[in-house]
Structure 1
Amino acid sequence: MSNQTPITDPYAYLNIVKNQDGSITRDLTNFPRASATPDPSPLNPVVSKDIPVNNSKSTYLRLYIPTTTVTNGDSSQKLPVIVYYHGGGFILCSVDFQLFHDFNSTMARDLNAIVVAPSYRLAPEHRLPAAYEDGIESLDWIRKSDDDWIRSHADFTNVYLMGTSAGGNLAYTVGLRSVDSDLSPLQIRGLILHHPFFGGEERCGSEIRLVNDQACPPVVTDVFWDLSLPIGVDRDHEYSNPTVGGGSESLKKIGELKWRVMVIGGEEDPMVDRQRDLAELMKKKGIQVTERFTGGDVHGAEILDPSKRGSLFASIRDFVSSSSAL
């Protein structure tokens, strides 16, 4: 992997242009979008719909639920809730990208769960902590919602925060922030960090080993952090480096609440050492951590390759089942 041709222009790689006012122009024509699928037809195993969250911020969420749950009319069937935050380095992507839509539809089907996929404001137009604030706001929407799918079928005692890449960072940070928030009747059982996006000023071993990685090389993640972190801070800020200073004080409370955490990564992801370091830190804080690191997989492998999703969702289903049984 390290012998590949290095990416010398990360802006061109990302199809973005930085503007003089600090915003960026995004060319996302290579990423097809998908509409929600609200029609509960027999050919559609999962239905979905878009619901506004905050009109002033133009945020919304896409809600997924197995079609049979809606059509059988049995409101006594309560399903676990997976709150899923999409990836994109905090500067790209949306919940309606075909890749994320298909991923969430399959997850709702395979886990027999309700998946709530919130949007969030993107940097650099809205730098962190804007995305974290939107992540918390989406939880507040869920707990107060009068939506029929949520009201009739969501198990508020069995909620998990999940995200891929930047979404994994978001799920982690929203989890830390939510321990001091009143989210009743929601009861968060755990975090599912799928290839979570973290960084630091000094290159870690896997970043050095995979410096020329073609999926998400360090030179590209540097741009993500440069555009998303608050002005004037470096990559050792707590938003990007969760292990700095021994980690957040809120980790201790997560342990006391007996949340469980699943950390999922690939051995060919330049961030894999950072993900392992976070898993070790959480263990030291008394948190029960399940690790799933797969050989040969690049950053976001299961998003990019649908053939890998079956085994991933089987692992997550086991994690949710064992966590909810506690």
Structure 2
Amino acid sequence: MNQTVASGFLSTPLVPTANRTVDEFVRRFQLFVNLPTFILGLLFNAFALWSLCCRFRRSDVSVIYMMNLILADILLLFSLPFKIYAYQTSNWSLGPAFCMFLECLYYVNTYASILMTVLICLDRYICIKHPFLARSFRSPQKTAAACATVWIGVWSCSACSYLTKPPISVCFFNHDQSLWKSPVIVLLQTLFVLSALAMVFCSVQILRALRRMSGAKEGHRDNSKSVNIVLSNLLTFLVCFTPYHLAMLLYFLAQNSLIHEKYLTPLRNALQICLLLANINCVLDAMYYYFVIREFRKSHKHSPADG
């Protein structure tokens, strides 16, 4: 989980914590990655938010999902400048309560993004594979309830995790090592594996259905945009979150003496770098926004009353 961001390094002591340090390469690399992630992510998300609010009905099911995914990205973006500051200073001066709030945002974004992306993929699967079921199953109210459930769930888990965290003088660093002995990591790994399986299954089924539609009869509308949406959604998910959870699993095994302790330091570095890749999801999500907004424009031209 995201509080693993800097659970400790044993190499160059540039940013001291209670008894661990942040590796110099990782400290510099996170600045190199997080700064453009913040700038580009802010621009892309602001454009997507403006397009959705000004050009489309907010009661559309797809729009509701996209708005919630954008919100998850914005939560990460809000915490990034403070995370950069925490990595560049030796002492957190903005208070433990604000640090706890920022770390919660960081955690919430990752798993809210994962679950929102899965919901989007499931929604498209139902629409394409089970169109009659979709008529009764899809509604703005049910979509809003599903999104609200995700937010309540991730915020509740985050709050439970951080309320037990002891006050420290640094932020995004030096988290309690008992985390790696708890079932929390197993639960997060299980959540990700189930989400990844759902994403792959739904995406493959959607692509097969779109291919059959295209070959069913001549003159059938071009499905290339829909294919691009499905692929960008799946690739963003896998590229951003699979390396991070794999590194988390390996570090968990090392912390529990299932992998030799000599690999702890390189695994910490790998976990840090993979977490930076997970941060980039708010930029790569822009591919999804781009294709969906294009599809919305086309569908609204042909069917202005489409809900």
TM-score, with length taken from structure 1: 0.22
* Structure of greater Rg: 2
TM-score (norm 2): 0.22
The structure that is strand-richer by fraction is 1
Work out which structure has the larger RCO, using CA pairs closer than 8 Å and 6 or more positions apart in sequence. 2
Structure (1 or 2) with the greater helix fraction: 2
